Amino acid sequence: MEELMYKSTRNSDLRLMASKAVLQGLSEDGGLFVPTYIPKLDVSLEDLSKMDYRGVAYEVMKLYMTDYTEDELKHCIASAYDEKFDTENIVDLVWADGAYYLELFHGSTIAFKDMALSILPHLMTTAAKKNDIEDDIVILTATSGDTGKAALAGFDSVPGTKIIVFYPKGGVSFIQERQMVTQAGANTCVIGVNGNFDDCQSAVKRMFADTELKKTLAELGCRFSSANSINIGRLIPQVVYYVYSYVKLLGEGKIARGDEINVTVPTGNFGNILAAYLAKHMGVPIDRLICASNENKVLFDFFNTGVYDKKREFKLTNSPSMDILISSNLERLIYFIAGEDDDANKALMKRLTDEGRYEITDEMKKGLKDFYGGFAAEADTLSQIKKLYDDTGYVLDTHTAVASFVYDEYVKKTGDKKKTVIASTASPYKFTPSVLSAIEGSKSDADPFALVDILAEKSGVKIPRAVSELKNAPIKHDKVVEIDEMKGAVLEFLR
């Protein structure tokens, strides 16, 4: 078989090695990088079931990161999945009320983005070395809350990297701001902006496109890179935990050889569920991919009608990390179900930009048979948290609760009782006020740290380090700038 490389969803003829795709992030034609084929696992599921997380990670990632040597890849994996995680297994599978919850929140910021953002910096610095790039990699990010902190934690003190995060001052939660401004690590910089998230995002995009700035950076021995969720260095590490959960269930005798499972994923940008799709097509016996949305249910409508329509009211929900109307990673699925036809994909994406909507062909709809789309309204999300707590004592965060509700509805509708893994994407402590109000049925505006203590009592789950540390952590970053001062602030930090 030819060596696996990367091509663009908007140019099937392009060929790039994995390390180049990691460094570049997005293809110059605006497309996303996809592997030239989906590789099959070359180790049996039985053998994988005897490995730990790092072992499985290597067996999966080696098939995609083909220009990384064994030593390089193993070094990246060992540097990422270590004591930063508060469970030795890196991820835990917990049985509650008819499904296995795959806890992806044991990393530094207690949300699933840690799974990819702990390894991305190492994949990037290794890629730079392989491609004879001596410049420091500078990650520039605008955040509405969660991604910023996960990226800061991932890049914290990684040699050869610097990270600058802009957030809208007054536009993120108290806990989110506290998490970011207490970030240690001399290579990190966090700056508040007097503006909203869109202002921050637009200014960051302008800086990426600023050739003058690029030149100045080169003189300083630096170059920009992006840690956003379309980078294959974020997508591929997410495939690992779907393979790992299957072989873990197999190894523990919870499923038998050949048994199929279903997977349910609370979805926003479509990265996490796309990783499950890749795992399925690599040979893991996964049947349905259940895509759970909140009230921003563009994907639910898409799976049910074949029409993607972003022209609708944007809703702020109690699962904010899923408040998205353009799921960027969906473009990869569109490309696959279009038979890897770059022109067909390009035409649909152009329609999305120009008209805000597109419809796929009947032929393409056949490619969606792996998927089931459902959604949970705000009240459903909260009642699901209460239901699980009352029935089992297990406490879900709001995002996982969306998935849990959609899964229950799926079983009622289809009668499909296959063993199911639900991706649990955040610790309940990350969204304490919403979770507590669901359990207690009352709203409280008490001090956020007092609420954390109450949740600890109710759930019996130890308060994660990420939260307990915050209370007394010293503030390291207190800079606040105007929108037109952002570029100056970047140069000041880099100098």
Q: Which residues bind ligand PLP (CB under 6 A)?
A: 111-113, 146, 229, 266-272, 321-322, 399, 425-426
Q: Which residue is nearest to ligand PLP (CB)?
A: 269
Residue 268 or 433: the one with the smaller Cβ distance to ligand PLP is 268
Residue 72 or 103: the one with the smaller Cβ distance to ligand PLP is 103
Q: How far is the CB of 242 from ligand PLP (least distance, A)?
A: 13
For the sheet with 136-142, list strands across it.
222-225, 136-142, 161-168, 188-194, 479-482
Q: What is the largest CA-CA distance in the chain?
A: 63
The closest alpha carbon to 302, from 266, 285, 284, 327, belongs to 327
Q: How far is the CB of 272 from ligand PLP (least distance, A)?
A: 4
Distance CA 408, CA 169 (A): 39
Structural tokens at position 276: 């499950």
Bridge pairing between strands 161-168 and 92-96: unpaired
Q: How far is the CB of 146 from ligand PLP (least distance, A)?
A: 5
185, burial (CB in 10 Å: exposed 0-12, middle 13-18, buried 19+): middle
Amino acid (1-letter code) at residue 18: A
Q: Catalytic one among 7, 62, 84, 113?
A: 113
CB atoms within 10 A of CB 221: 10
Backbone angles phi, psi at 222, to 5 degrees: -130, 160
Residue 19 or 400: the one with the smaller Cβ distance to ligand PLP is 400
Q: How far is the CB of 229 from ligand PLP (least distance, A)?
A: 6
214, burial (CB in 10 Å: exposed 0-12, middle 13-18, buried 19+): middle
Is 323 in contact with 146 (CB distance < 8 Å)?
A: no
CB atoms within 10 A of CB 489: 18
Q: How far does CA 296 lie from the centroid of its chain? A: 18
Residue 207 or 278: the one with the smaller Cβ distance to ligand PLP is 278
DSSP-assigned letter for residue 393: -
CB atoms within 10 A of CB 324: 19
| Residue 113 bears catalytic tag | yes
Residue 19 or 427: the one with the smaller Cβ distance to ligand PLP is 427
DSSP-assigned letter for residue 229: T
Residue 41 or 115: the one with the smaller Cβ distance to ligand PLP is 115
Residue 399 or 487: the one with the smaller Cβ distance to ligand PLP is 399
Residue 48 or 368: the one with the smaller Cβ distance to ligand PLP is 368
Orientation of helix 146-155 relative to helix 174-181, angle to 10°: 20
Which residue, chain included where needed, has tokens 């930009």?
A: 353
Q: Which helix (H) or strand (E) covers residue 55, if one does?
A: helix 53-61
Ramachandran region, residue 25 (left: φ > 0; alpha: ψ -120 to 50; beta: rest):
left
The closest alpha carbon to 296, from 318, 269, 323, belongs to 323
Distance CA 406, CA 390 (A): 18
List, by residue number, the catalytic residues: 113
